Structure 1
Amino acid sequence: FTNFYIFARLFLWLKYVVLAPWVVHSMYSYMTKDERERDLSNFLIFPFLLTRMLHNQIWISLSRYVTAKGKHRIVDKSIEFEQIDRERDWLVIRDDQILFNGTLFYLGNLTLKGGSHLPFWRTDGVIITILLHTGVVEFLYYWLHRALHHHFLYSRYHSHHHSSIVTVPITSVIHPFAEHIAYFTLFAIPLMTAVLTGTGSVVSFAGYISYIDFMNNMGHCNFELVPKRMFSIFPPLKYLMYTPS
C-alpha cells in the first residue's frame, strides 16, 4: 500500500512535465533570438501560470484562516472533514485546470494569427475586453448558471459544486469537466475577440484572467471582503464583481 501511495503521488507530480517542452522552447527562443524577434507574450505564459497558482493558494490560506478564527463568517459552521477530503482531491484538479489553460495558451500563441508577439499594452484591447465582459460574458454567464440550476443539469453536474456547504476558494472550481469547458469557452470570448481583431496585449490577457481568478476566489470565501454599502453607492459594481452573499 505504501509503494502504491508513493507511486500515485509521484504520478500526480509528473503531470507538470506536460508543459516542460513548451516552457523549454519558450525560454530557449527568447534567449537566442534577436531582440526584435523575441515574443514576450510567449515567454511570460509560464511565469503567469505560476502566479495564478500562488494567487489561488493565498486565497485558500486566507479563507481557511478567517474560517478557523470564527469571526466574520457568513455560514457560521466549521469545515467538515468530508468536505476537506473532497476538496483536497479537487485542489489537484485546480492545478490541472491551470495546466490545461497553459497548454491552450501555448497552442494559441503558436497557431493563431494575432496570438503571438502581443504588445505589453493596448488601450483599445483593454476597453474591448471590459465591454465584452460586462455586456456579453456576464449576460451569458447568468443564463448558463440559471441553466445549471435546472433539475436536469443540476442533478447531473452542478450539484457537486453545491455539496460544499461552507464554501472556500477551492470550491469555485469543484465542477465536472463539462462545466469547466463551458466556463472556459465563455470567458474566452473577450480573449479570442482580442486575438482575432489584433487588439490583444499582455496586460489585457493576464489582467482579465487574473480578474476572473480573483472574483472566483473572493466569491467563494465564507466572509465578506467588500462592504455591501459599496453596491448601493455604485450600483454598476454588480456587473463587475460578485461577493459570497
Structure 2
Amino acid sequence: MATKPGVLTDWPWTPLGSFKYIVVAPWAVHSTYKFVTDDLEKMDLGYTLIFPFLLLRILHNQVWISLSRYYTAKGKRRILDKGIDFTQVDRETNWDDQILFNGVLFYVGFSLLPEAKQLPLWRTDGVLMTTLLHAGPVEFLYYWLHKALHHHFLYSRYHSHHHSSIVTEPITSVIHPFAEHIAYFMLFAIPLLTALLTNTASIASLAGYIIYIDFMNNMGHCNFELVPKRLFHLFPPLKFLCYTPS
C-alpha cells in the first residue's frame, strides 16, 4: 500500500481473490465459440486473438520473472546485492491485474468501435504512426506524468506503493494502484486509438506496441543488466531506444 492510500487504490475485482478472471470469462468464451463456429471469411481475427494475446502477455512476464529470480539466486550480475523479501513477493502477486484490466478494455473497445472490426494483420502506415506517436507525444507526456507522480501529494497516495520494492523484479514495473494504471492506459492508448480512428491500425501495430511496452518495462526493472554496456558505446543512439535498470 501507499503511505497514504488515495481513492481508487484497490482494483475493482480485489474482493474476488483468485476468482478475478471471471471478469473476462464471458468474452473469452464468446470469442472462442466464434472462432470454432464462424467461417474464415466472417471471422473477426482481432477480437478472436484477444484471449490468446492475454495469455501470451502472462507467459512473457513469467519468463522475465523466472530469468530475474535465477540471476538473483545465482548472485552474479546483480545490481543491488540483496535478496527479495517475502513482503515484496506478497505485494507483487497481483502483477496480472493490469493484464486483466487491459483485457476488459480491449474486449469493450473491439466490441464498440466499428474501426476495430476486421483488422488486417499488417499495415506499414499504422506501424509507423504508432511508433512516431509513442516516441513523440507519449514519451513527452509520460515524463511529466511520472514527474507529477513523484510530487509528495501523489507520491504518498499512489506512487510510493511502486517504490516500496527496493530490489526490483521485472513485474515491479506494473505494481501500481488502480488509479495509476488508469492514467497509464489513457496515455498509452493514444497511439492505439489514433491508428484505429484513422483506419490505419493492424493486429501487428496494436499487439506489437503492447508487447514492446511489456518488454521495456520488464527489462527496465530487472535487478541485472540484460543489454551489455559496450553496446551503448558501439551504438550510442541505443540509449534513445531503451532504458536500463541502472
**Superposed pair shares fold, TM > 0.5:** yes
The 3-state SS of whatever aligns with 1:142 is helix
Deviations 1:131-189 (A, max 9, x none): 11111111111111111112221122111111111100121111111111111111111
List alignment gaps of at least 5 residues for structure 1: 1-9
| Separation in structure 2 between the aligned mates of residue 13 and residue 54 of structure 1, nearest angstrom | 18
Q: Which residue of 2 aligns with 1:35?
A: 40
| Separation in structure 2 between the aligned mates of residue 152 and residue 226 of structure 1, nearest angstrom | 35
Matched, 1:15 2:16: no
The amino acid of 2:49's aligned partner reads L
The amino acid of 1:195's aligned partner reads L
Greater per-residue helix proportion: 1
Matched, 1:74 2:75: no
Q: Which residue of 1 aligns with 2:157?
A: 156
In the alignment of these two chains, the number of paired residues is 233
The amino acid of 1:122's aligned partner reads R
* TM-aligned CA distance change 1:191 to 1:96, over 3 Å: same
| Separation in structure 2 between the aligned mates of residue 190 and residue 235 of structure 1, nearest angstrom | 26
The Cα shift of 1:104 comes to 0.9
Is residue 138–residue 239 contact of structure 1 (8 Å, CA) maintained in 2? Answer: no
| Separation in structure 2 between the aligned mates of residue 26 and residue 81 of structure 1, nearest angstrom | 38
Root mean square deviation of aligned Cα:
1.7
Structure 1 runs (4+) deviating above 6 angstroms are none
The amino acid of 1:39's aligned partner reads D
| Separation in structure 1 between the aligned mates of residue 91 and residue 97 of structure 2, nearest angstrom | 16
The Cα shift of 1:32 comes to 2.5
| Separation in structure 1 between the aligned mates of residue 141 and residue 236 of structure 2, nearest angstrom | 20
| Separation in structure 1 between the aligned mates of residue 79 and residue 18 of structure 2, nearest angstrom | 35
Deviations 1:86-108 (A, max 9, x none): 22xxx22x222211111111111
Is residue 113–residue 195 contact of structure 1 (8 Å, CA) maintained in 2? Answer: no
Identity of counterpart residues, as a percentage?
A: 72
Deviations 1:43-96 (A, max 9, x none): 111000000001111111111110111101111111123222322xxx22x222
The amino acid of 1:30's aligned partner reads F
Q: Which residue of 1 aligns with 2:12?
A: none
The 3-state SS of whatever aligns with 2:24 is helix
| Separation in structure 1 between the aligned mates of residue 127 and residue 235 of structure 2, nearest angstrom | 22
Q: Which residue of 1 aligns with 2:53?
A: 48
Q: Which residue of 2 aligns with 1:143?
A: 144
Q: Which residue of 1 aligns with 2:184?
A: 183
Which TM-score applies when normalising by structure 1?
Answer: 0.90
* TM-aligned CA distance change 1:138 to 1:237, over 3 Å: farther
Q: Which residue of 2 aligns with 1:238?
A: 239
| Separation in structure 1 between the aligned mates of residue 108 and residue 76 of structure 2, nearest angstrom | 45
The Cα shift of 1:113 comes to 2.3
Higher relative contact order (CA 8 A, sep 6+): 2
| Separation in structure 2 between the aligned mates of residue 234 and residue 215 of structure 1, nearest angstrom | 18
* TM-aligned CA distance change 1:29 to 1:19, over 3 Å: same
The Cα shift of 1:11 comes to 4.6
Which TM-score applies when normalising by structure 2?
Answer: 0.89
Q: Which residue of 1 aligns with 2:169?
A: 168
The Cα shift of 1:222 comes to 0.2
